Amino acid sequence: MSTPHKPLVILRAAPHPKDRIFGPAALALLHDRFTVVEPDTEEALDRALPDAFAVVGQPDLPAERLARAGELRAVLNIEGNFYPYLDYEVCFRRGIHVLNCGPAYAQAVAEYALGLALDLARGISREDRAFRAGRERYVAEGNADAVLLHGSDVGLIGFGNLGRSLYPLLAAFRPTIRVYDPWLPPAVLREQGLVPATLDETLTSSRFVFVLATATEESRHLLGERELGLLPDGARLVHVSRAPVVDYPALLAQVAAGRLLAAIDVWPDEPVAADDPARALEGLVLSAHRAGGIPEAFRSIGDMVVDDLTLLARGLPPARMQPAARELVGRYRNRPVTTGTGKART
């Protein structure tokens, strides 16, 4: 039970270990300001719900369970996606805040995406492999397909958390940046100094393309055979958002033909099969869904949780986590990511 001055918070950190998300200082603050319970069974969760001020984590919260949580003010997702694990409509109707930790990963993903782009521009990892195998190529010989990011035409597919974090990093290279994002009016992009463009315009005009869009029914295979064929010969594509946005066989075929170079951090099936043809493609930089999940990003989630819970307890709106939008949560098609051990992670 909560005390009069310490609202009850249910903490279900899975799939993360609690100490991955909360540093010692953040965890101490959480316990200082709230009565924290960590139910280890569904029965214990049900017993705690009637007095709960907030739920931190992703336990199943269908309408019948939410009906028992009469004091609930907030559900804070610490995995990074708006999965259908709770009845969003009930939450919207009752004014329960549903918050997501996605912004915690944005800076890490943006820096990684920039690194992948520079690798594609200069063949860094490719030439490292060649050097280790005794096939190094010196000076101009190893730079036949090298290009500059500086001054290039760059396309962003999506301008959400990831795009907003990547944009300042790209600015130092003085590119022309076109953005395709059907969820934003062109004025929002122009105010940032970006060029609003259709998908075809963005692809046709870009030497570098960053795929940053979330997964919805509308964005499934947004980049298919036709769209990838619009990219200029020698274009570089960086994919760090959600696997369903890209038609992988079509992309791999373009890379295998030597027409495009690509870097991929997200995959349709994870872990990737040992015999997946992507593993043998020289024009592909492979990454095992690791762009965002670094210790600093994980620890920032705990800080965000404590900050927003504190604001909510004071009767103020949350300021750090991403609120669920009533118009969008039903459109997302993201899913948990599994590691080789079968454990879900972001």
Mean pLDDT, range 154-168, rounded to an integer: 97
For 127-154, write each residue's pLDDT tens digit. Answer: 999 999 999 999 999 999 999 999 999 9
Q: Quick one: pLDDT at residue 339?
A: 44
Specify whether the CB–CB gap between 250 and 275 falls below 8 A.
no
Q: Residue 203 above 80 pLDDT?
A: yes
Q: Residue 182 above 70 pLDDT?
A: yes
Work out the number of other CB atoms within 10 angstroms of the CB of residue 340: 9
Q: Quick one: pLDDT at residue 329?
A: 78
Q: 82: pLDDT confidence band, cut at 50, 70 and 90?
A: confident
Specify whether the CB–CB gap between 178 and 205 falls below 8 A.
yes
Q: Residue 4 above 80 pLDDT?
A: no
How much of the chain, in percent, has pLDDT values that exceed 70? 95
Mean pLDDT, range 156-175, rounded to an integer: 97
Q: Quick one: pLDDT at residue 105?
A: 95
Work out the number of other CB atoms within 10 angstroms of the CB of residue 105: 23
CATH 3.40.50.720 residue ranges of the chain are: 8-101+295-345, 106-286
Cβ contacts of 100 within 8 Å, gap of 6 or more? 77, 80, 81, 82, 321, 322, 323, 324
For 242-287, write each residue's pLDDT tens digit. Answer: 999 999 999 999 999 999 999 999 999 999 999 999 999 999 999 9
For 204-246, write each residue's pLDDT tens digit. Answer: 999 999 999 988 888 899 999 999 999 999 999 999 999 999 9
Q: Quick one: pLDDT at residue 60?
A: 95
The CATH superfamily label for domain 8-101+295-345 reads NAD(P)-binding Rossmann-like Domain (3.40.50.720)
- Reading the block at residue 42, the tokens are 């569904």
Q: Residue 74 above 60 pLDDT?
A: yes
Q: Quick one: pLDDT at residue 8?
A: 98
How much of the chain, in percent, has pLDDT values that exceed 90? 87
Rounded (10°) CA dihedral 60, 71, 82, 265: -90
Q: Quick one: pLDDT at residue 335?
A: 61
- Reading the block at residue 331, the tokens are 């459109």
Q: Quick one: pLDDT at residue 341?
A: 44
SS3 label, residue 5: coil
Q: Quick one: pLDDT at residue 342?
A: 43
Write down the pTM of the prediction. Answer: 0.92
CB-based burial, 36-75: b 16+ in 10 Å, e otherwise: bbebeeeeebeebbebbbbbbbbbebeeebbeebeebbbb
The CATH superfamily label for domain 106-286 reads NAD(P)-binding Rossmann-like Domain (3.40.50.720)
SS3 label, residue 153: strand
Mean pLDDT computed over every residue of the chain: 93
Tell me the torsion sign for CA atoms 50, 56, 58, 62: positive
Residue 168, classified by CB atoms within 10 Å of its CB into exposed (0-12), middle (13-18) or buried (19+), is exposed
Q: Residue 337 above 60 pLDDT?
A: no
